[in-house]
Structure 1
């Protein structure tokens, strides 16, 4: 498995994978992989930079995991910053693995990659939010094993589920 920066060549596969793993995120206008991934590649495009500014996102970078035998995108991860805490924290985003490739340690590899990458910009904390949706139970175990501790929870409006906030001091 090879981790490389998201590119125009891997963009559509990466979006399709996140849409498959997190189908509910497509309903959000801005908080979806299609927007986030395109914006990260089009940093100088005024349309995207203006929307990122409105969302208070100052930086967004994403990576993909490629299965070397097939050339297929089988995982994604990202690091992004919010204006409110950009000097101290990165947020982990869109970390997922194709269901067919799960159980091979790819998710752990992606989280470890992000944990190693985060301090390079002087960040002191890695944060993320996830949920208690049943399909994210294995991810909760992975985050816990990597030291990402729960710092808060909030009810997801109109559901029986909660958004879970986690962080790791780097």
Structure 2
């Protein structure tokens, strides 16, 4: 499959939101807001959620968005790590190496920024099962898990999973 990876453009925002909402129907408030406020006058809300220096890219084919990937930093580990976020591939494009290309693209960008780690969080939600094996194949080891209090109160068995890939040796 031939496709391009291009920087996010405002003109694609609604298309990206539809894709992310379709792939992650049970996303949390921060995730739901992130795409809607990224690079708008409401961008400061992302900072409240700990997201700094966010940027993301789109996989496009025949003028349609078929995937996304992004990088951001957090105040607590900005010197040593970037976080992979906004990663998803449309169901129709899965199995065609789009996800692998997006992961490779993000790893390349994070490595070029001389960070030691690329981190991500995901969950045990069944919608994310295929992504778990992709993360493991790409060297993202499981480094922690938690079950947010709000999820417990709601009776959800889903856990957050934290994964990390070493990019370089400490300086």
* TM-score, normalised relative to structure 1: 0.87
The separation in 1 between residues aligned to 2:126 and 2:50, in whole angstroms, is 30
Do the aligned partners of 2:17 and 2:36 also contact (CA within 8 Å) in 1? no
Q: For 2:60 and 2:76, how far apart are their aligned partners in 1?
A: 33
Aligned to 1:88: 80
Q: Distance in 2 between matches of 1:77 and 1:122?
A: 19
Q: What is the match of residue 21 of structure 1?
A: 23
Aligned-residue offset at 1:64: 0.5
Paired position in structure 2 for 1:36: 34
What pairs up with 1:121-132 in 2 under 5 angstroms?
121-132=113-124
- Aligned residue runs from structure 1 range 31-110, under 5 A: 31-32=31-32, 35-42=33-40, 45=41, 47-49=42-44, 51-67=45-61, 70-110=62-102
Alignment TM-score, normalising by the size of structure 2: 0.87
- The count of aligned residue pairs is 160
1:113 is paired with a residue of what secondary structure?
helix
Whole-angstrom CA distance in 2 between matches of 1:56 and 1:73: 27
The one-character-per-residue Cα deviations of 1:137-157 (angstroms, maximum 9, x if unpaired) are 111110001000000111242
Runs (4+) off by over 6 Å: none
| In structure 2, C-alpha distance between the alignment counterparts of 1:96 and 1:53, rounded to whole Å | 22
Which stretches in structure 2 are left out of the alignment for 5+ residues? none
RMSD: 1.5
